[in-house]
Amino acid sequence: MFSEQESLLGRIDEVLVALRRVIRATDLHSKHLAKTTGLTAPQILLLQTIRDRGEEATIGELASDISLSQATVTSILDRLEKRELVYRERSKTDKRKVHAHLTERATEVLKSAPIPLQAQFARQFGDLQEWEQTMIISSLQRIAQMMDAEHIDASPVLDIGMLDRQNAAPERNDTFGGDKHN
């Protein structure tokens, strides 16, 4: 017969295993994206958002759509532009606005790109009852608090590592002749 202490330790282990599985799934999916496309989840998400938004989306609007800062989106666009996947153009009607456009190469990459993990999650989360969604949110917020992590700035993009790697050393990735970062 389990003692109360053993039962608590078992539940703690279950929580930690579940958290580790989420982290591991995110890591594996990020590696799969990098291997198959040479891009990170934030890069693919930004390319998809540009495609879905069309020609008139500004950098600020794109940043808002994917819940990243405008500086982070600009950094990601810099990397995508170096790989000839996007180009930026000033608005013809308002020179203060800059629009991002996909190249044909980006359109081809998106055709074969796996679905980002957050898209899969969003679809399945949306299928849950409202009370289930609320319970998950509440539980995860409590876990963040218990891990003293509620003050850590985070975006809803599921990717391992920093989103804005301007100061990180580039890593070689031959898929598109550039680094594998945003």
User: What are the tens digits of pLDDT across the range 152-180?
Assistant: 877 666 654 444 443 333 333 333 333 33
pLDDT less than 50: residues of the chain: 160-182
What pLDDT score does 100 carry?
92
Q: Considering only CA atoms, which of 168, 166, 159, 134 is closest in space to residue 39? A: 159
CA dihedral of residues 90, 94, 99, 103 (deg, nearest 10): -50
As a whole number of angstroms, the distance between CA 105 and CA 102 comes to: 8
What pLDDT score does 175 carry?
35
What pLDDT score does 159 carry?
57
As a whole number of angstroms, the distance between CA 51 and CA 31 comes to: 23
User: Which residue's entry shows tokens 């994917």?
Assistant: 66
List alpha helices for the chain, DSSP H.
Answer: 4-37, 41-53, 59-65, 70-82, 104-112, 117-126, 130-146
Cβ-proximal residues to 131 (8 Å cutoff; 6+ apart), any chain: none
pTM recorded for the entire structure: 0.68
Strand, coil or helix: 88: strand
What pLDDT score does 162 carry?
43
Q: Considering only CA atoms, which of 63, 90, 91 is closest in space to residue 77? A: 63
What pLDDT score does 1 carry?
57
What pLDDT score does 114 carry?
84
The domain ranges of the chain are 4-162
In the DSSP assignment, the letter for residue 163 is: S
What pLDDT score does 164 carry?
40
User: Which tokens go with 113?
Assistant: 């790109």
What pLDDT score does 3 carry?
85
Instruction: Tell me which CATH code domain 4-162 carries.
Output: 1.10.10.10
